[in-house]
Amino acid sequence: MPVVDEVSWPFYVSAVATGVAFGYVTQRGGFCLTRALSNLFLMGDATIVRAYLLALFVATVGVHLILGAGLVQIPIRPFHWLGNLLGGFLFGVGMILAGGCSGSTWYRVGEGAVGAWIVLLAFAMGATTTSVGILAPARRALQGPTVTVDGVSPTLASLIGVSPWAVIGVLGVLLAIFLWRGSPEPEHAKWPWAVTGVAVGMLIAVGWWTSSFDQAPTGITFASNTGQALTYPLVGYPNRVNWSMVLLVGVPIGAFLAAWRAGEFRWKLPPGWSLVQLFAGGLLMGTAAILAEGCNITQGLTHSATLALGSLVAFGAMWVGAYAAVWVMFLRKG
C-alpha cells in the first residue's frame, strides 16, 4: 500500500478527483451503455447512444493528442480475439440482466440505489473468480488465441496501414453524419447528450494522464479494480492500493453531489423478486469483464480510444450481447 507521505498526495488526490468528476458528469448526463442500448433497441431512441459515440470520438482525439505531446505512454491492449468476442458478448448480456453497466452501477450507488450494491458485490465476486479463482485457467485458455500485426498488438490504424489521424478523420465524418441525421432529443432532466458526450470523452482522455501518478497509467477503469476492492480488504490482494481502486471512492461521491443538487437523490429498494436477476447480472458482468479484459468503460472507451483492435472488437461484442438479451427478454415476447 502506498505510504501516506508528501509524495503520495498526487496519487490520492488525482484518483479521487478523477472519480468525483466522472461520477458527477455521468450522473448528470445519465450516461449508461445499458440505458443507451435498451432505449435504442426497444424505442428507437438513440439519444444516449449519440452521447456514447461522441464520448468515444472526443476521447480518441484527446488520447492521440496526449500521445503526440509525449505526456504519457499509453499501452495498446492485445487482441485476444476469442476472449474479447466471448467476454464482450457475455458482458452485454450481463448488463441487461443487471439493469446497468459497470460505470453506471458505481454512480447509482451515489444516487441511493440499494440494488446497485447487490450488482457490485456480484460483479466483484465474478471478477475475482475469473482473475485469480477457479475460473482463471479457463480464462487463460480463452485469452490464448492472439492476433498481432508485425509482432505487435494491432490498432485500427496499423491494421489498415495509415496514420491514426487519418482514421480519426474518417470516423469524425461518419459520426458527424450520424449525429446530424438523428432525431430531436426528447425532453428529460439530464444534460443534453452533446454536453455529456464531450465531458465524458474529455475525462476519459485526462484519466490517462491523472492515472500516471501510479506506477503505470491505467486510465479510467471499472473491471479488475471492482474485484480488487473486494479482495484487498479480505485477503490483501493485490498487495497494495492502486490508483484505480482509489478512483472508485470518488465516483459515488461525485454522483451523490450531482443527484443531491438536482433533487434526484433518494433511497431506492429493488423489488424482492429482482434480487436474483440483479445478482446474476452482476456475476456475469464481472466474469465477462475479466475475460474481455475490460468493461464498457475500460474497453469501450478508455482503451478503444487508443484504436486498439481488441478493445473495439470487445466493445462491438457488448452491443451484440446486449441486443441478444433484449430480444430474449422483451422483443421476442412482443
| Beta-carbon contacts of residue 32 (< 8 Å; ≥ 6 apart) | 26, 48, 100, 101, 103, 104
Q: What is the pLDDT of residues 283-305, one digit of tens each?
A: 999 999 999 999 999 999 999 99
Instruction: Give this prediction's pTM.
Output: 0.96
- The Cα–Cα gap between 216 and 60 comes to 20
* Cis ω before 78 (30° cut-off from 0): no
Neighbouring CB atoms inside 10 A of 191's CB total: 21
pLDDT digits (tens, 9 = 90+) for 227-285: 999 999 999 999 999 999 999 999 999 999 999 999 999 999 998 889 999 999 999 99
Instruction: Show me where the domains of the chain are located.
Output: 6-331
pLDDT, tens only, 146-161: 999 999 999 999 999 9
Return all residues near 244 (Cβ < 8 A) that are at least 6 apart: 15, 211, 214, 218, 221, 224, 225, 228
Sign of CA dihedral 178, 179, 184, 185: positive
Whether 321 and 92 have beta carbons less than 8 Å apart is answered as yes
